[in-house]
């Protein structure tokens, strides 16, 4: 059966420090959508927050959609794009869109809140501590004392950023204060994580259209896990986006039991967080021990990004992937319109 051609409004750029990464993701998405036979309307969100199409700024009206598109693909990373803000705007415009909704986007973007939910759900994960800038300024000794329980080394991260922006590995206690200050320059909430042993493994989760397929659970497909091998000491920004910075080994070099556990946990975490459409779930695997690290609701879609490589290794080529994501967004929008709020 031939599927109908879609008109897709593709959001690129954004206000966050991941603006350039988003542009790279969106260019790849545009190519994939065009290969799938769809019409793409490029919307670039400038660093000051303005939305532009065809060289002119857009004026958005609630309830009137976006550029007469069938669906919006927000290829945006970080704050003001992946954190529920744009998703709320798209809900107000009453237009279908790809990916997680408002609540799950906000939840998963907040690394501390995400880990607190995982703890409440009994999900095995990396040990962590959260710190807010106000408390760091008022009681730094107490904050350092709480972090000390994690041991060394630790990773210090802004709680709401992705793409490894603002992250530091700290091996000496004397370096911790400076690392916290650098992270607080990006975000008023910082997470400090204990260093986990074992392989860094990632799994792509993908929604199922109309209950298709056989390898599914709760309407979610879990890809074959992949293992991240990187040239640098750890998976920093350069390793993610520089050619040769990292290598993805598919399937991951872990046991069959650990691989099955990764896929099981990917589905569980996707469901616990209320995600829709897609997500990449990251793990540390040491022998048979599998720990959840984090979940990304809009993983990178650049040529070197992991998500598309994992779904392709699982039998879903790139044009089919972006097509499926658009149709999942439309399916969700149509289902919700059936309710009376």
Q: Is 94 a catalytic residue?
A: no
User: Which one from 13, 18, 25, 219 is the annotated catalytic residue?
Assistant: 18
Q: Is 241 a catalytic residue?
A: yes
Q: Is 32 a catalytic residue?
A: no
Q: Is 272 a catalytic residue?
A: no
User: Which one from 97, 128, 235, 241 is the annotated catalytic residue?
Assistant: 241
Q: Is 215 a catalytic residue?
A: no
Q: Is 296 a catalytic residue?
A: yes
User: Which one from 16, 105, 293, 296 is the annotated catalytic residue?
Assistant: 296
Answer positive or negative: Cα dihedral of 273, 321, 58, 12.
positive
User: Which one from 13, 226, 277, 300 is the annotated catalytic residue?
Assistant: 300
User: Which one from 82, 83, 227, 294 is the annotated catalytic residue?
Assistant: 294
User: Which one from 82, 83, 268, 282 is the annotated catalytic residue?
Assistant: 282
φ, ψ dihedrals at 293, nearest 5° = -100, -60
Tokens for 141? 């000794």
User: Which one from 17, 105, 163, 305 is the annotated catalytic residue?
Assistant: 163
Please, are residues 319 and 28 in contact by the beta-carbon 8 Å criterion?
Answer: no
Please, are residues 75 and 29 in contact by the beta-carbon 8 Å criterion?
Answer: yes
**C-alpha–C-alpha distance, residues 198 and 195, integer Å:** 10
- SS3 sequence, 280-308? EEEEEEECCEEEEEEEECCCCCCCCCHHH
Q: Where are the beta strands (DSSP E) in the chain?
A: 7-13, 39-45, 51-53, 56-57, 71-74, 128-132, 154-158, 168-170, 189-194, 199-207, 220-222, 226-230, 246-249, 278-286, 289-296
User: Which one from 30, 261, 280, 324 is the annotated catalytic residue?
Assistant: 280
Q: Is 22 a catalytic residue?
A: no
Active site residues: 18, 163, 241, 280, 282, 294, 296, 300
């Amino acid at each position: 059966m031939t599927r109908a051609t879609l008109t897709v409004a593709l959001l690129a750029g954004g206000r966050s420090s991941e603006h350039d990464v988003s542009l790279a993701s969106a260019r790849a998405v545009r190519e994939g959508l065009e290969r799938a036979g769809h019409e793409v309307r490029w919307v670039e969100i400038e660093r000051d927050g303005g939305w532009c199409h065809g060289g002119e700024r857009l004026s958005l009206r609630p309830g009137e959609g976006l550029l007469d598109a069938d669906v919006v693909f927000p290829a945006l990373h970080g704050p003001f794009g992946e954190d529920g803000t744009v998703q709320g705007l798209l809900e107000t415009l009453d237009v279908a869109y790809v990916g997680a909704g408002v609540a799950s986007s906000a939840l998963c973007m907040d690394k501390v809140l995400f880990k607190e939910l995982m703890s409440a759900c009994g999900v095995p994960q990396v040990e962590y501590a959260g710190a807010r800038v106000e408390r760091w300024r008022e009681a730094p000794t107490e904050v350092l004392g709480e972090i000390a329980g994690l041991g060394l080394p630790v990773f210090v991260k802004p709680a709401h950023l992705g793409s490894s922006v603002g992250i530091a590995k700290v091996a000496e206690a004397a370096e911790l204060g400076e690392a916290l200050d650098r992270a607080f320059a990006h975000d008023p909430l910082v997470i400090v994580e204990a260093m986990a042993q074992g392989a860094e493994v990632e799994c792509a989760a993908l929604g199922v259209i109309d209950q298709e397929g056989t390898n599914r659970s709760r309407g979610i497909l879990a890809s074959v896990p992949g293992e991240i091998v990187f040239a640098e000491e750890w998976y920093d920004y350069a390793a993610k986006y520089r050619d040769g910075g990292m290598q993805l080994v598919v399937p991951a070099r872990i046991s069959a039991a650990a691989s099955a556990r990764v896929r099981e946990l990917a589905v569980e975490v996707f469901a616990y967080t209320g995600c829709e459409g897609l997500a990449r779930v990251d793990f540390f695997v040491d022998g048979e021990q599998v720990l959840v690290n984090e979940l990304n609701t809009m993983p990178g879609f650049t040529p070197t990004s992991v998500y598309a490589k994992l779904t392709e290794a699982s039998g879903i080529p790139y044009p089919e992937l972006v097509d499926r994501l658009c149709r999942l967004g439309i399916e969700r929008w149509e289902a919700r319109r059936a309710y009376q709020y």
